[in-house]
Structure 1
Amino acid sequence: MNKICVFCGNKPNKKNKEHVLPQWLLRMTGDPNRVVQFGYDYIKKKDIIFNWKNFTSPSCTKCNDKYADFEGIVSPIIDKLSKKSEITSTEAIMVLDWLDKVRIGLWINYYYLENNKAQIEPKLCIDNRLGKKDRFMQIHFLESNNKSEGLNAFGVETFAFQVNPSCFALRINNILIINGSNDFLISQNCGFPYPNKMEFTESGILSLSDWKYDRETKPEITNLKLHKGVLTIYQPIHSQLEYETNYFNDSYLIQHCINREKRIGTLFRIKNNKIQPIYDLSKKLDYESVKGLETKYIGELVSKVYKGQNIFLLNQTSDKEGVFSKIIELNKQYIDFYKKYHHKKNFA
């Protein structure tokens, strides 16, 4: 396999190594040299285990240096979250950008480490994917115990993720962050234009048709009922897609975009089972209380990642040869595994 820079997608210039899960995060969550388990590979019938020291991707030295400053901004925000301190909407946008970076970085990591098990030709890199498509994140505070320190990535080990790196989760000590990003993933939720039909053509171009635009909002992502989190954030983004842009002269979108020229929507949050736009991005976001029957084991929360991968894969594909049906069936095994067993098991 040809090596590409995880950031720019080109052949690395003055080759360097990028820790996609950065060194500061490894130090925050334990021994940076530790060996960790990332899940279970149902194809090879064994645990997926990596040593943090070797968990790197090739990069250009210049690209690596550029993103080092970005990591310096995000690190204190993640530290705030781990301490259950409130963050602002502007800081939430930085975390969403960082999750885009980590999600695509992990996708490229697995492409190399598992020798391109999905037999794909990678066209994504961090530069061309960060902040370019609809996205959401949901934060959960986990119960503290004698094993509260640790780091896990969920969903990154699947065939579904290799085909479409749409959804994953990070457990960082006592918090769990679920993240998803895809074309028009939550546009309908936020009252933005969206196509009812999306298909990739044989040339790999996304075909969009049967457009809807009703300016109505709804909190629940179609076919994916997330469990309640302390903070759930949506952001519609259409900047990477070429289609009729007259929509963005509409008064609703003028009001609900932070950058209308680039078609970047403002943040929306789910609170009290209602969706609310956020107009003041400098204001701190209070956390919702999650208690009683709303409280879920980590395995139940993680299972939604694999469910989301299945849903988002089907949203953009026509499965003429039954390939994606097989991938989805494999993901169902992950869903059952986390639901049944990981409600009693600590992660590390």
Structure 2
Amino acid sequence: MAEPVSRRLKDHPKESEPATEAVVISEVDMIGSMMSQLQQLRSQFEGQLYKHGQELASLTQGLATMQCQQEQLLNDLRIAQEANLRSIKATSWDPKEDREIRNEFSRLEERLRAWVRKYVVRDISRLRPLADFEKDAIVGRLKGSIARSTFDSLFKKMTPRLKGRFPFLIGHAMLAASIFDPMFSNPFFAIRYFNTNSKPISSSAMFGLYRTMGNASPSEAHIWRSQLLRFLTKPQPGSPESSLASPRIIESYSTGMAKLFLKGPIRLLLEAPKPGAIQYECLDDLCHIFACAMQLSLSLWCQRTQIACNSVFAGNTRAFLHTDPSMIAHRLHQLDEGENKLDGKEILLIIQPAVVAFGNEDGENYDKQNIWSPAIVLVNEKED
């Protein structure tokens, strides 16, 4: 009879159990070791993570601080720029517009005409007793702007209407020459009045230096002249009278020029001086004209434009042309706008010189001209 299976299994020896337990124990130990390593790595990672978190927080706070500092610096920069801009605007030079300049020259012309009408003789017969040397003195004062060599030859070329105003025309021309020639030909015309606590500065020497610079670099010369005069005409702190445009210097220059003019040939054309207020009024009115002209001149020389005063003929004679913007016929000719009846006629006398500007405030285009004040000319209306 066969033996039951259950019994056979029960009685069979357990040979593999020790080996299995050893493997399990080994695996458990290995897992424990790995868990320990993982725990250690986790602790290290958490430590590094905490450290990096602290660093990130510190960097974030530093960035916020830097952003605040940047905003403050930008705000300080904006405030400084605005202050600098206000300072520049307060001290910058604003050039005059051409229309404003032309209006000022028109007002200057009216001042000249008003003074001549008030103080120059009206009756032409008052000039007949003049001696030849006195007539020569008048013509000599107008040398370069008169087409005839003698007083009488000029007078003979005029029509009766012009002859009747001859004293006024000559007086206007002489006064204009005394103002325009010095003030709008040499930017340093009044430099000798500037107080340097030393010897007076020569206007001719300064003009010579300016011209020498212009031969080498016109643009730089005009900028230099402009900057120098802007500085000299600006009142200095604590010394307002040191400015070339100060009331003291303007009065000194205009008074000296007015007295010098009255001592010249113009005295031959003036009404007989009367004692008292009228005599001083003549001088005061003249001083005012010179002062206004000086202020206008200085303001224009402070600009970077080059100025030319055309007070003389280019040649022995010159013909009138109504389309030439640099000249206009005297109002006594009664020319309508665009009328050409005097075209080609001889210019007898430049009553008031032309003032022409070249270039702009950028120191460019000095080859382009801009007429600020056209020459007022007297034309020979007679048929040759």
Bigger Rg over Cα: 2
- Do the two structures share a fold, i.e. TM-score over 0.5? no
* Interval of TM-score (by shorter of Structure 1 and Structure 2): under 0.3
Structure having the higher helix fraction is 2
TM-score by length of 2: 0.23
Structure having the higher strand fraction is 1
TM-score by length of 1: 0.25
